[in-house]
Amino acid sequence: MEERYGGIRLPVPTDALTKLIERDADDLDLYADLSAHGRGVDGTTQFRAGSKPRVRVAGEIGALLGQGRREHRLRTTLSHEYGHVMLHRVLYDGKVASPELLDYPVCKRDTMLRASGVDWMEWQAGYSCGALLVPISHLRKLVSEHLEKRGVHTASVRRDTPRAGELIYEVSKTFFVSPEAAKVRLDKLGFLTDHEAGPSLFDA
């Protein structure tokens, strides 16, 4: 992204996500027919031994480009599949070359953000999705400033409070991700908790 835009831009442009995949994958199809995989499949990353992976995004998801907040779903899918490209290609590089496709992850919308730790490939891709769209250093700064303006000097807020809802909205708006994606990222990094307070964000 620094090569294309001269630095980090936030929110990460959707075009930058497609360019990353096109650079590191064999190809990207934004309008693929994934119906053979069943209902609710938004994307796949197909691996071949000795070759770059191929990324497929369901046509109805690719069509969300430029559709305002509906584009959140496309951005999540692209960054999730890019996680597979970067993290899991190495698992297939040592396999015997074959013209046949190897087993590959099928990414369903219901688990793209909240995959179980048992499904470790999906969990890793989901975590990398959040890290790409909502970088931790920028998120930490946003949370700090957001809470300080409201007179809150703790590192976390209770997830079932209006204050948590305000923070989720701010993250969603700033990073152009869905409220669900914002909540998951905040939760995984410990900014949303079941407790009243956490350690101060402002202590040295």
Show pLDDT as tens, one digit a residue, over the chain (204 residues): 556 555 678 999 999 999 999 999 999 999 999 999 889 899 999 988 778 999 999 999 999 999 999 999 999 999 999 999 999 887 766 554 444 444 566 676 666 666 665 578 888 999 999 999 999 999 999 999 999 999 988 889 999 999 999 999 999 999 999 999 999 999 999 999 997 655 444 443
Last residue of a domain, one of 83, 100, 133: 133
pTM (2 decimals)? 0.84
Q: What's phi and psi for 52, nearest 5 deg?
A: -70, 150
Is there a single domain that holds both residue 123 and residue 145?
no
Within a domain: 199: no
- Give the pLDDT confidence score for residue 203 in this predicted structure: 44
Within a domain: 203: no
Is there a single domain that holds both residue 83 and residue 158?
no
Within a domain: 198: no
Is there a single domain that holds both residue 16 and residue 82?
yes
- Give the pLDDT confidence score for residue 144 in this predicted structure: 96
Within a domain: 201: no
Is there a single domain that holds both residue 160 and residue 76?
no
Range of the domain at 178: 136-193
Neighbours of 180 (CB within 10 A): 16
Domain count, the chain: 2
Is there a single domain that holds both residue 92 and residue 12?
yes
Is there a single domain that holds both residue 162 and residue 144?
yes
Within a domain: 42: yes
Is there a single domain that holds both residue 106 and residue 146?
no
Is there a single domain that holds both residue 116 and residue 149?
no
Is there a single domain that holds both residue 127 and residue 176?
no
b/e per residue 57-95 (b: at least 16 CB within 10 A): bbeebbebeeeeeebbbbbbbbbbbbbbbbebbeebeee
- Give the pLDDT confidence score for residue 111 in this predicted structure: 64
Is there a single domain that holds both residue 123 and residue 176?
no
Geometric angle at alpha carbon 58, from 56 and 60, rounded to 5°: 150
Within a domain: 117: yes
Is there a single domain that holds both residue 126 and residue 156?
no
Within a domain: 172: yes
Is there a single domain that holds both residue 152 and residue 112?
no
